[in-house]
Amino acid sequence: MSGERILLIDDDELFTEVMARSFERRGFATRRCASAAEGVAACSEFRPSHILLDLNMPETSGLLVLPQLLEQAPGCRLVVLTGYSSIATAVAATRAGATNYLCKPATVEEILRAFEGEAPAVEVPPDPISVDRLEWEHIQRVLHDNDQNISATARALGMHRRTLQRKLQKRPVKR
């Protein structure tokens, strides 16, 4: 894998440190960034062949910087990695040019397979997705379609804005 360069963009510094060591053992040159802005700034100078991008960071969403990163590093493979996954964000990430989308926790081997475009192995649960989880994913999709505008999303869902804000402050509903 000589010449392979990976840019790790995640606000969890311990996670990026562990990932950097794992990728370095596999022959990658690595660069760690703790924020989206730092990642965008480092991208053109570092010229990565691979980017591992966290979706949820304090100052912005990885979805918003994804096009900028791909513009600065054309032809690079980008995998979105998140602890707060939803179908809506997975679709949005792949439409924006991400090679793949993974849920945390993921191993280095799973991430490397994702860079190659392989679909992650997903176990089909014996029980169906809950109605609450379906509602959460629908809200996320409508929110994305409305460019993260809470008022427009509330109108589209026929919901009071404050009710929507309360629902968004909660963590994603489990299956």
Tens digit of each residue's pLDDT (9 = 90 or more) over 30-70: 999 999 999 999 998 999 999 999 988 878 888 899 999 99
Question: Which domain does 50 fall in, by range?
Answer: 5-115
Residue 174 lies in a domain: no
Q: Give strand pairing partners of 77.
A: 50
Residues 94, 136, single domain; the answer is no
Number of domains in the chain: 2
Q: What is the DSSP letter of 35?
A: S
Residues 108, 25, single domain; the answer is yes
CA-based Rg of the chain, rounded to a whole angstrom?
17
What pLDDT is recorded for position 1? 44
Residues 74, 144, single domain; the answer is no
Dihedral pair phi/psi, residue 36, rounded to 5°: -65, -45
**Among 115, 141, 158, residue at a domain's last position:** 115
Residue 120 lies in a domain: no
Assessment of whether the complete model's pTM goes beyond 0.95: no
Domain CATH for 151? 1.10.10.60
Residues 103, 74, single domain; the answer is yes
